[in-house]
Amino acid sequence: MGLIERVFQVMFGGGNVVRETAEVFRENAEAGAARGATVQMQAMRQYGEEFAVPRQGGFDRFMDGVNRLPRPLLALGTLGLFVSAMVEPLWFSQRMQGIALAPEPLWWLLGVIVSFYFGARHQVKSQQFQCEIVGTMTAVPQVMENIKALKTLRAQDVGAANTSGDTRLGVASILPDGNAALEAWQRIRKI
């Protein structure tokens, strides 16, 4: 028993040869988590010290407010574009045609400015978005034709209930349908 105990103590005990060898090829997860926690605590402490100084002037408060504007404005502006595309498709289409004519360097400049706030990933996404806009703009004539067709289906238009000479449909349209609620009410009134 003593020999096996010593072998296990050498391998897994105080001088853990297996663990130390494995850590050469793979990071110790527990030690890595401890280092990550230390880095995060230091970052949070530094972040807290930045705001420990009270804002004294109106300019500081104004700049804090300005720094908080880009994200909400971009989010609300995007939602506004969706609403305008549904409410006024021609107006939206005209604006998107203007955007499609913007030169490539202008898109890159916009991408750099916006990535200052949102990260470099936005540049790739904005260029993909520009390609998607061009693809969407090709569907505008079909969408406008569909909207025109939908407007002709409104029930307020004259002739919306025209049976077009179909006698069965014409007779069915003038025959009264059964009204279960009215019939039940009439039965209750007779009792």
Decide which of 85 and 9 is more confident: 85
Domain that holds residue 127: 71-139
| pTM score of the predicted model | 0.34
43-77 as b/e: b if 16+ CB within 10 A: eeeeeeeeeeeeeeeeeeeeeeeeeeeeeeeeeee
Is 75 within the bounds of a domain? yes
Rounded Cα–Cα distance for residues 183 and 185 (Å): 5
- Say if residue 102 is in the same domain as residue 43: no
CA distances from residue 186 to 151, 177, 189 in whole angstroms, order as listed = 40, 16, 5
> pLDDT at position 157, please?
59
- Say if residue 123 is in the same domain as residue 76: yes
Quick: pLDDT tens for 88-111. Answer: 988 888 888 888 888 888 988 888
Quick: pLDDT tens for 140-183. Answer: 888 888 888 777 766 665 666 677 777 887 777 777 778 888 88
Quick: pLDDT tens for 24-39. Answer: 777 888 888 888 889 8
CA distances from residue 49 to 42, 43, 54 in whole angstroms, order as listed = 11, 10, 11
Query: 3-state DSSP: the chain helix, strand, coil percent, rounded to 5?
Result: 75, 0, 25
- Say if residue 45 is in the same domain as residue 76: no
> pLDDT at position 60, please?
81
Judged by DSSP in three states, 68 sits in coil
